Amino acid sequence: MSNAPALIEAARQGDETALRLLLEDCQPDLRRIARSQCASSADADDAVQESLWLVYRRIGALRTVGSFGAWMFSIVRRECQRLMRGMRGTVELPAEDHPVFAYYTTPGLHIDLAAAIQSLPEKYREAIVLRDFEEYSITEMAASLRLTRAAVKSRIHRGRQMIREYLED
């Protein structure tokens, strides 16, 4: 999320025009994150809309301009989690053309892979999604998650190990 710091600061200070421009500018990033975090495209669309509304209402609470990307990510992630909890046991798997499954051609593997990723504890799922699907660098992940590089690497390793164990069963 490479929004101009001046635009973010102006939005924080209450500039409505800057806020509208910022929301328009960050919408593609929100959609990309929501698609990787939500169970269905409909949930992703709902999460994006709710996230935009929350940013609109709470931009003044943003502590620093530099934390805008991490702040946006956390808002979208929480919205996707809220929608998942609302499903109350019903699971709608991502479509076969979802980018998560672009490299897997084995029939049925996408279902197993989606289930494996969804079964991960949140901290490992978040690390796997950021690294393998969002293609964040270790340094970017450390900054976004407020962890050390070693902790990030550990979460990625453990998450991948848990996925392997899940798929082997």
Considering the segment(s) 96-169 as one domain, its CATH architecture is Orthogonal Bundle (1.10)
Tell me the pLDDT tens digit for each residue of 23-70: 999 899 888 888 887 777 788 888 899 888 888 888 888 888 888 888
- Tell me whether residue 57 is exposed, middle or buried, using C-beta atoms within 10 angstroms of its C-beta: 0 to 12, 13 to 18, 19 or more: exposed
Model pTM score: 0.50
In the chain, what are the domain boundaries?
1-92, 96-169
pLDDT at 93: 43
Tell me the pLDDT tens digit for each residue of 120-158: 888 888 888 888 877 788 988 888 888 999 999 999 999
* CATH 3.40.50.10860 applies to domain 1-92: no
* CB distance 30 to 48 below 8 Å: yes
92: confidence class by pLDDT, cuts 50, 70, 90: very low
Q: Which has the higher per-residue pLDDT, 95 or 48?
A: 48
Which among 123, 43, 109 is positioned nearest to 79, based on CA atoms? 43
Q: Tokens 């998650």 identify what position?
A: 145
